[in-house]
Amino acid sequence: MKEYTFFPGCSSEKNASAANMEHSVQAMCKILGIQLNEIDDWNCCSASIGYAGGGQLPRLSMSARNFALAQQQRGMTDLVATCAACWLAMREAAERIEHEPEVRADVNVALKEANLSYEGGIKTRHLVEVLIEDFGWDALRAKVKKPLTGLKVAGYVGCQTNRPFGIAGESFENPLYLDKMIEATGATAVPYPKKVACCGGALMFTEVEKSCALVRDLLQCAVDNGAEVIVTPCPVCQLNVEVYQGKINQLFGTNFNIPVVYYSQLFVLSWGGSWEDAALNQQVVPAEVLRRFA
């Protein structure tokens, strides 16, 4: 059993938009022998849109409080995130706290109000990096009990799992790990030229039509390349690409109805987990095309 400190983030809470990611991640980790120790009483990472209301210091302090709690509760154990936006916000905060003495000093003045302090040192990682670096491709392949043979999958990496930090060792323009994950389940990764294009991110809330136009192109590209399902590591991508299909069909006269799942859901299913373990009962666009493997 390998242990990590865990930051789930707001969208992974019960009854939140990425509850299906969280459920399948826990099932995946159980099969793999990973124990995720959630930071007790964590707060929001400030998300990708927090800059406008929060500015620099309030925004960075939010991550700093999580680091301080993590250190208090779990020492210097690696801190793992599953949400792209959380991971990015934490990596950014960690870098700035470590490399900018002024930021570090100011953050600690703020933290002191909560009787906390943090000087840096905890490594912030994405769960995908844990799978690749601490377990490796052979170990992931060895878990397969029901290979997803014949399933055609478009691997949609999106933005924030890929830039500005990205999964260690991958390129920004053509990261390969997601295709490799798809292939590791026995499924087929179809070519997907839109794999690192933007879904609109948080602007789906406010600029609905403009964001839907981006997602329309993402969906069309997947369909054109013969995908039966889209897979992604990012909860913002998953939400935008799955849940807005009805709206997109309305806006553009299209007829999309393609399931969008997380890599963790594919792994759990191919590793012999149940439909519920994989949280496939929590899809807004039903993933019936996966039923034959359940």
Partner 1 sequence: MAYDLSFAQDVYKNSEMGHWIKMCKQCGVCAGSCPFGPHWEYSPRQLFQLVRAGKKEEVLKSHSMWMCTSCYNCIVRCPRSLPITHIVHGLARYASVKGYADPNQITNRFATQIFWPNIVGTGRVGEAMLTMRLYFADGLGAGIKRGLEMKDSALGMLMTKRLNPIPLRGKIKGYAGFAAMIAKAQELEAKREAGA
Residue 13 binding partner 1, by CB under 8 A: yes
Residue 39 or 148 having the CB closest to partner 1: 39
Residue 254 binding partner 1, by CB under 8 A: no
Nearest approach, Cβ of residue 56 and partner 1 (Å): 5
Cis peptide before 164 (omega within 30 of 0): yes
Question: Facing residues of 147 across strands?
Answer: none
Residue 23 or 187 having the CB closest to partner 1: 23
Residue from 4, 7, 18, 227 binding partner 1 (CB under 8 A):
18
Residues in contact with partner 1, shown as a per-residue x/- string from 203 to 222 under the rule CB under 8 A: x-xxx--xx--x--------
Residue 244 binding partner 1, by CB under 8 A: yes
Residue 57 binding partner 1, by CB under 8 A: yes
Residue 37 binding partner 1, by CB under 8 A: no
Q: How many residues bind partner 1 (CB under 8 A)?
A: 68
Query: Which stretches within the chain are classed as H helix?
Result: 19-32, 50-54, 56-74, 84-99, 101-112, 127-129, 137-142, 177-184, 208-224, 235-243, 245-252, 263-270
Residue 15 or 255 having the CB closest to partner 1: 15
Residue from 31, 111, 223, 294 binding partner 1 (CB under 8 A):
111
| Tokens found for residue 89 | 């916000």
Residue from 37, 143, 282, 294 binding partner 1 (CB under 8 A):
282
Residue 31 binding partner 1, by CB under 8 A: no
Residue 33 or 164 having the CB closest to partner 1: 164
Q: How far apart, in whole angstroms, are the C-alpha atoms of residue 261 and residue 222?
A: 13
Residue 44 binding partner 1, by CB under 8 A: yes
Question: Facing residues of 34 across strands?
Answer: 2
Residue from 19, 31, 144, 223 binding partner 1 (CB under 8 A):
19
Residue 43 or 254 having the CB closest to partner 1: 43
* Sheet arrangement for strand 34-38: 34-38, 2-7, 79-81, 124-126
| Tokens found for residue 134 | 């601490």
Residue 15 binding partner 1, by CB under 8 A: yes
Nearest approach, Cβ of residue 130 and partner 1 (Å): 22
Q: How far apart, in whole angstroms, are the C-alpha atoms of residue 106 and residue 60?
A: 10
Residue 10 binding partner 1, by CB under 8 A: yes
How big is the chain, counted in residues? 294
* Sheet arrangement for strand 188-189: 188-189, 152-155, 229-232, 260-262
For residues 90 and 79, the answer to whether their CB atoms sit within 8 Å is yes
For residue 231, give every residue at least 6 positions away whose Cβ sits within 8 Å of its Cβ, in sequence order, or none.
Answer: 153, 154, 155, 156, 178, 181, 182, 260, 261, 262, 263, 265, 266
Nearest to 108 by CA among 72, 54, 71, 57: 57
- Tell me which residues touch partner 1 (CB under 8 A): 10-11, 13-20, 41-44, 46-58, 60-62, 65, 88, 106-107, 109-116, 159-160, 162-164, 172, 197-198, 200-203, 205-207, 210-211, 214, 243-244, 246-247, 281-284
